[in-house]
Structure 1
């Protein structure tokens, strides 16, 4: 004889379990860079609930009503802080690793950009690497490594590109924590801010330029051990804070 009671949906239970795991992963990532995150989350929760209690006392309204409002608001505040710290912590922990720039390029720059899967140039000794990107502003060389050490490599790559694409704008972004470099966290924003005047490539032109560049390095370059961006990738859901 069957019972009318319905057992909990296994899919919902799995989703809830995954949600809790994502919060745990986000907290772990954040705490590596921001040890104070636990105190901050507790402080936000207490402050919001205390504010709800204070408003209830001052307005002589029902305490339960303000607690019902305050508790979800405390949760939202905590999740907002956790999302922010997780994102910044993940980028901070990735910075300086070979292949970190490629991971950002694949994840964060969005539509309208073409990112080559293989590096344009590599120094196997120092693990300095150059990635080629094509978008509305033109061709962008994203260089990983100290400015002084990678200058010649970037200049050589720029000359190759200008020989076959003399009318397409060429930009160079050097990624790293040093002076004159773009921080990993700011890479996608820097790309979006590149000038598109007087030349702005159309979708068709981006495709054509990408094909020309692919022919320039049709043999491809092997990625040395330690520069594989797939190995440097943190948990994507944890990075988003959810």
Structure 2
């Protein structure tokens, strides 16, 4: 594993971001290059065959088939790259402080993530997500300590937003917990119970609550290059 200083994706070009994402992914999955090559050949071959079978002039169709095959091959290669990079990024984050908050940064527009709205001295923490399901409290750390912390945060949020649903999610691999790689999808599947206009009202109510708590910055590891800077490419569909 590389011990180099983490890079800030906001200071890098698009090309540099892709190179760094590939490098970091390869540190976790050495086979990524072969998988990308295989995807290019398979998708490219399919694309070439489809265009070559179209009726028309053979020379013209051959040129179109080559171009179409290359484009479809590149598409397949990027799909494999994004999936492998996403999996590798989650692997790198496992066990890191604040991994849940970094994973939640993958949520699309229409969601607002507030890191560390609650914490313990042992570094258990609760993050808050506001979106279509309402309020989602996401806890990471020791399940026994989190139970009391989550209950406390739920009561605080219900006092200022009693008419909005509050969901609780624990990140982990135990019973009743959600594994880190499935966290974003799990939150998205909680349903649509709050309209966009109501979300605005909800966020306004939560401002008073947030003003009373200290801000606890999370330490940043090498993950943001691939998980945040390349966020658009890594979102699973």
Give your verdict on TM over 0.5: yes
Q: In the TM superposition, what whole-angstrom CA distance separates every residue of 1:10-52 from its partner, at most 9, and x where no partner exists?
A: xxxxxxx945433322322332333221111222333455564
Pairing of 1:120-159 with structure 2 (within 5 A): 120-125=117-122, 127-159=123-155
* Contact 1:95/1:176 (<8 A) preserved: no
- Superposed CA RMSD: 3.5
Q: Give the total of aligned pairs.
A: 216
* Contact 1:132/1:141 (<8 A) preserved: yes
User: Distance in 2 between the 1:55 and 1:241 partners?
Assistant: 27
**1:98 paired residue number:** 97
User: Distance in 1 between the 2:168 and 2:203 partners?
Assistant: 20
Task: Verify: 1:22 aligned to 2:17, yes or no.
Answer: yes
**1:206 paired residue number:** 202
Deviation at 1:229, TM superposition (A): 4.9
Q: 1:206 to 1:135 in 2, by over 3 A?
A: farther
Q: 1:231 to 1:122 in 2, by over 3 A?
A: farther
**1:108 paired residue number:** 107
Give me the TM-score of the superposition, normalised by structure 2. 0.71
* Contact 2:129/2:137 (<8 A) preserved: yes
**2:219 paired residue number:** 228
Pairing of 1:2-21 with structure 2 (within 5 A): 18-21=13-16
**Which has more radius of gyration?**
1
Deviation at 1:83, TM superposition (A): 1.6
Task: Verify: 1:169 aligned to 2:168, yes or no.
Answer: no
Deviation at 1:192, TM superposition (A): 2.7
